[in-house]
C-alpha cells in the first residue's frame, strides 16, 4: 500500500484543525445569544438594529437568563437601571484639563463677572428602552445639558449671590433646565441631584476679588457697629432729654406757684393799701424784717465807734 505523501499529511492535519476551529467559532456564535443579566440591570434586544417586542414587558428583560439569537443577528444592550450614576460636570465640556482661562470653562454673571463652577450630578436610568435607542454617549449628553444650564442660569445672577447665598437656588435652577433638555432628547435619564462642589473666581482674579470681598465685609461690619451705636445712643439721649424736660417743667411749676403765692399776697392787701398805703407799707416791712431776722442764728448789735467785729466760732 502506498504511503500518503507529507503534503497530504499536512493538509489533513490543517483540515482537521480548521474544522475544529470552525466548529468552536460556530459554537461560540451560537452561544453568544445566551446572556445572564445581573441583578440591578435589565436588557434590551435589538434584532438587525430593530427593537424586539411590541410591549414594554416584551422589550425589557429583567435580571436572569436571557436567550437571544447570536450576536450577528441580535444585539443585547445591558442597562443599569438599579444604580445611581454619579458624574462630575464643570462649567462646560472641555476635553483637556481646566487650568487657566485659556482652556478653562467659566460663566459670566449678570454683573459681568467671571466665575468657575463644578458640580456633582447624580442620575438614574428610568426608561431603559429610550436609553438603549437614543443615548449613544450619555456621559457627554449629561455634561452638555448641565453645563449649558450652568452658563444660562449664571447669566441671570450676580456673582456675590452665586458665590454665597444663591448657591442652592442656582443648583435647583440648573437641575430643572438640564432635566428639560434631557426630556426633549428622550434618553430615559432622570437627574436626582445637582450638588455644587466648587464655585469660585478664576485664579487670575481671585486675590483681587478676595480683597474687594474683605473690604465689603469690613464696611458691613462698620455699618452694623454704627447702627448698634446709634441704637444705644439715641435711647440715652432721649432719656436725658426727657429728664431735662421734666426738670424744666418741675422748675416752671415751682416758679409759677411761687409767683402765684406772691401775687395772691399782693392781691390780698391791695384794697387795704388803697385805703391806708403808709400803714400797709409799715406793716409789711415789719413782717418781712421779722421773718428775715428769724432766719438769722445770732444777732450782734454793733455799737457806735467799734472798728473791729469779732465773730465767735461755733
CATH code of residue 163? 3.30.479.30
pLDDT value for 96: 47
For 252, phi then psi, to 5°, come to: -60, -45
Same domain, 158 and 170: yes
Assess if residue 6 is contained within a domain: no
CA distance 267 to 215: 75
Q: What is the pLDDT of residue 164?
A: 85
Note down pLDDT in tens along the chain; length 314 residues.
Answer: 445 566 666 777 777 777 777 777 766 665 566 677 778 888 888 888 788 888 888 888 888 777 677 777 878 788 888 889 999 998 754 444 444 445 557 888 898 888 889 999 999 999 999 998 888 889 999 999 999 999 999 999 998 899 888 999 999 999 999 999 999 999 999 999 999 998 888 777 777 777 877 888 889 999 998 988 888 888 888 888 888 998 899 988 888 888 877 777 677 777 777 778 888 778 777 777 787 777 776 666 666 766 665 555 55
Q: Is residue 91 part of a domain?
A: yes
Sign of the torsion angle spanned by Cα atoms 119, 125, 130, 136: positive
What is the per-residue pLDDT for 201?
81
Let me know if residue 255 belongs to a domain: no
Q: Is 7 among the domain residues?
A: no
State the burial class of residue 20 (Cβ atoms within 10 Å of its Cβ: 0-12, 13-18, 19+): exposed
Q: Are residues 154 and 242 both part of a single domain?
A: no
CB 74 within 8 A of CB 34: no
Do 120 and 169 sit in the same domain of this protein? yes
What pLDDT shows up at residue 21? Answer: 78
In a domain, 313, yes or no: no
Q: What angle do CA 62, 66, 72 make, to 5 degrees?
A: 125
Is 10 contained in some domain?
no
Within-domain flag for 165? yes
pLDDT score recorded for residue 264: 72
In angstroms, the CA 314 to CA 311 distance is: 9
Of all helices (H) and strands (E), which one includes residue 89? strand 85-90
Q: For the chain, how many structural domains are there in total?
A: 4
Model pLDDT, residue 155: 92
- Do 126 and 45 belong together in one domain? no
Same domain, 237 and 278: no
List the domain range (segments joined by +) for residue 104.
Answer: 85-201
Pair (96, 168) in one structural domain: yes
Amino acid at each position: 500500500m502506498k504511503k500518503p505523501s507529507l503534503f497530504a499529511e499536512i493538509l489533513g492535519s490543517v483540515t482537521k484543525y480548521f474544522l475544529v476551529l470552525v466548529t468552536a467559532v460556530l459554537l461560540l456564535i451560537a452561544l453568544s445569544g445566551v446572556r445572564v443579566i445581573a441583578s440591578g440591570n435589565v436588557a434590551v434586544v435589538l434584532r438587525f438594529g430593530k427593537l424586539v417586542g411590541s410591549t414594554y414587558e416584551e422589550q425589557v428583560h429583567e435580571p436572569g437568563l436571557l436567550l437571544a439569537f447570536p450576536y450577528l443577528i441580535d444585539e443585547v444592550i445591558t442597562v443599569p437601571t438599579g444604580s445611581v450614576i454619579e458624574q462630575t460636570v464643570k462649567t462646560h465640556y472641555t476635553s483637556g484639563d481646566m487650568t487657566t482661562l485659556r482652556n478653562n470653562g467659566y460663566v459670566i454673571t449678570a454683573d459681568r463677572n467671571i466665575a468657575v463652577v463644578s458640580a456633582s450630578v447624580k442620575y438614574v436610568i428610568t426608561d431603559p428602552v429610550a436609553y438603549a435607542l437614543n443615548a449613544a454617549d450619555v456621559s457627554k449628553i449629561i455634561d452638555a445639558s448641565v453645563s449649558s444650564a450652568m452658563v444660562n442660569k449664571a447669566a441671570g445672577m450676580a456673582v456675590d449671590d452665586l458665590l454665597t447665598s444663591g448657591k442652592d437656588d442656582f443648583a435647583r435652577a440648573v437641575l430643572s433646565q438640564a432635566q428639560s433638555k434631557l426630556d426633549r432628547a428622550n434618553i430615559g435619564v432622570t437627574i436626582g441631584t445637582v450638588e455644587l462642589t466648587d464655585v469660585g473666581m478664576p485664579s487670575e482674579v481671585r486675590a483681587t476679588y478676595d480683597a474687594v470681598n474683605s473690604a465689603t465685609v469690613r464696611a458691613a461690619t462698620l455699618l452694623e457697629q454704627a447702627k448698634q451705636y446709634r441704637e444705644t445712643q439715641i435711647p440715652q439721649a432721649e432719656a436725658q432729654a426727657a429728664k431735662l424736660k421734666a426738670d424744666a417743667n418741675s422748675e416752671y411749676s415751682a416758679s409759677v406757684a411761687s409767683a402765684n403765692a406772691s401775687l395772691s399776697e399782693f392781691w390780698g392787701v391791695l384794697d387795704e393799701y388803697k385805703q391806708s398805703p403808709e400803714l400797709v407799707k409799715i406793716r409789711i416791712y415789719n413782717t418781712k424784717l421779722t421773718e428775715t431776722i428769724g432766719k438769722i442764728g445770732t444777732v450782734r448789735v454793733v455799737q457806735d465807734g467799734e472798728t473791729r467785729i469779732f465773730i465767735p466760732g461755733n
